Chains A and B, each alone.
Chain A
Amino acid sequence: MTTTSEPAASTSYTGHFRVWRGDTQGGELADFEVEVNEGEVVLDIIHRLQATQAPDLAVRWNCKAGKCGSCSAEVNGRPRLLCMTRMSVFTREETITVTPLRAFPVVRDLVTDVSFNYTKAREVPSFVPPPGVAPGEYRMMQEDVDRPQEFRKCIECFLCQDTCHVVRDHEENKGAFAGPRFLMRVAELDMHPLDAAADTGLDRKTTAQDEHGLGYCNITKCCTEVCPEGIRITDNALIPLKERAADRKYDPLVWLGNKIRRRGEQ
């Protein structure tokens, strides 16, 4: 083992952190000085705080690999996964502020109540199996499933829901607006080559607008900016869904064509 003192001095330092501590009754940003080592992520530092200075600090986490979507929080005001935010992106002198997601009700410290998202998930009608095709007999061409497969990368971290100003800045819109994650789910199902919702009278293009609040989206792309999976939510899900809704609701030519076709079917 070599005994050079230089590397040890440069790979470890004392970082300055401000972490929100509190609950539903109130709270504040608490200051901490904590050891930071090379290669660590913000979640490592939060764990070190728990181990050394704040044993009752609440934080939700699980896989520590950017795949479970549990450790969503805001670092220096930006919605991020704590486990995927490297300390090396900050300067050593910088004070790093960690807060819970600010679009959802707080439970304690860095933990928020994200049940809004589960409510919205339940409101999206699920996949409708095609009639006459048994499970296991589904056959699809790759080019037909490429689009929905991109959306299946979603880890449901809800960072997009958190950053979307429609609900983040306007609590009153939470009833009418499903948020980017669940509008993307509607798009995924509407683009699914075997989804037979239309045969049952469910027009996902129309319900995206009428029941899930697609019109509230003003495509400012924050959902895409924060997505840790790199899903192009706005360009590949929300805008195509808006165009599909426009087909149904704002395009007289398409409307007329559908009327004529339906008459022909009768």
Chain B
Amino acid sequence: MATGTEPDLKSTGGVRGPARASIAAPHLRTDRWWLPPAATAAGLLAFVVYSSWRAFSDADYYAAPYVSPFYSPCLAESCAPMKAGPNWELVGSWWPLSPALIILIFPLGFRLTCYYYRKAYYRGFWASPPACAVAEPHRTYSGETRFPLILQNLHRYFFYAAMLVAVVLSWDTILAFRDEHYDWGHMGLGTLVFLVNIVLIWAYTLSCHSCRHIVGGKLKHFSKHPVRYRMWQWVGRLNDRHMLLAWASLVSVAVADLYVYLVASGVFDDPRFF
């Protein structure tokens, strides 16, 4: 059968197929292969639950000078007024839901189509495969050849959008060097939380495989493009830690939001350093 032909979609048994070694067990692994996908699924699920609660709540997302990264930039008219902050009423007053839902589409799309997260949720949630050499439970498989998973190829566009969001979050971090009266030259614990978050957000965004491709990976001759080659090497070094940065930035963005929530809802006051 030549490649490029349409596969017969009737499953033929996989590892328990008639021509394979007759072993009834779907796998013979003796290690705790289920632990990484289970931990991944639990971690992602925890973030989804937390971020959904916060995104839909439409409350306690601004405590001067801090704005939650889930609500920045705030594109609806219903947004809390933030002095010199990311209030851009592009969507207007007709938007009836939480303004976070407008902007979160972009970082969500970036992470959903990210090559690391794809591995994580294909394994953790869809068991495709659950672990290496562990038989998957699905009768048929078409991978990313069809709708909707063919849309994973749009990752680079979400990367561009995520860059813009990161620029706005960087501005928010600069604004965090004010106090609650909007006077410059101050710093609180929240500023530190925002600083750590924005460094991790940039590191994760720039370590993206699409970024690596765009800055230089697409070239055939590195020797003719020394600057792009150097950039490709830098991004490559970040890319080696893409999984770590994906998790670190996921946690940091949730912590930054939680910090704003706790301060805005009056649980504690932002400790000021100066």
Per DSSP, chain A at the interface is mixed
With a CB–CB cut-off of 8 A, which chain A residues contact B32? none
Which of B17-25, B79-87, B168-176 is the contact stretch? B17-25
Residue of B nearest to A109 (CB): B21
Among B3, B115, B142, the one with the most A-chain Cβ atoms within 10 Å of its Cβ is B3
Q: Is the CB of A102 within 8 A of B221?
A: no
Which of A6-14, A44-52, A246-254 is the contact stretch? A246-254
Partner of A77, one of B28, B118, B122: B28
With a CB–CB cut-off of 8 A, which chain B residues contact A100? 21
A235 at the interface (CB under 8 A from B): yes
CA distance A242 to B75 in the complex (A): 34
With a CB–CB cut-off of 8 A, which chain B residues contact A211? 3-4
CA distance A104 to B17 in the complex (A): 10
Q: Is the CB of A216 within 8 A of B13?
A: no
B218 at the interface (CB under 8 A from A): yes
Residues of chain A in range 209-247 having any CB-CB distance to chain B below 8 Å: 210-213, 215-222, 225-226, 235, 239-240, 242-247
Q: Mark A79-100, 1 if CB is under 8 A from B, else 0.
A: 1000000000000001001011
- Contacts A143-B229, A168-B14, A172-B11 given; does A79 touch B143 at CB 8 Å: no
Q: Chain B's nearest CB lies how many Å from the CB of A242?
A: 7
Q: Chain B's nearest CB lies how many Å from the CB of A225?
A: 5
Which of A22-30, A59-67, A256-264 is the contact stretch? A22-30
Q: Is the CB of B15 within 8 A of A169?
A: yes
Residues of chain B in range 133-167 having any CB-CB distance to chain A below 8 Å: 133-136, 138, 140-145, 149-150, 153-156
Per DSSP, chain B at the interface is loop
A40 at the interface (CB under 8 A from B): no
B183 at the interface (CB under 8 A from A): no
Residue of A nearest to B25 (CB): A77
With a CB–CB cut-off of 8 A, which chain B residues contact A245? 153
CA distance A144 to B232 in the complex (A): 13
Q: Is the CB of A27 within 8 A of B129?
A: no
B12 at the interface (CB under 8 A from A): yes
With a CB–CB cut-off of 8 A, which chain A residues contact B138? 169
Q: Chain B's nearest CB lies how many Å from the CB of A16?
A: 12
Excluding A171-B11, A173-B7, 13 further A-B contacts by CB distance (< 8 Å) are A74-B133, A76-B28, A78-B133, A123-B3, A163-B132, A165-B128, A165-B136, A170-B11, A172-B11, A175-B1, A176-B5, A215-B150, A218-B149
- 29 residue pairs of the A-B complex, CB under 8 angstroms, read A27-B22, A74-B28, A77-B30, A77-B133, A78-B133, A97-B30, A102-B133, A103-B15, A104-B20, A144-B220, A165-B128, A168-B14, A169-B15, A170-B141, A171-B11, A172-B7, A175-B7, A193-B220, A210-B4, A216-B141, A216-B142, A217-B144, A218-B118, A220-B119, A220-B123, A222-B133, A225-B132, A239-B115, A239-B209
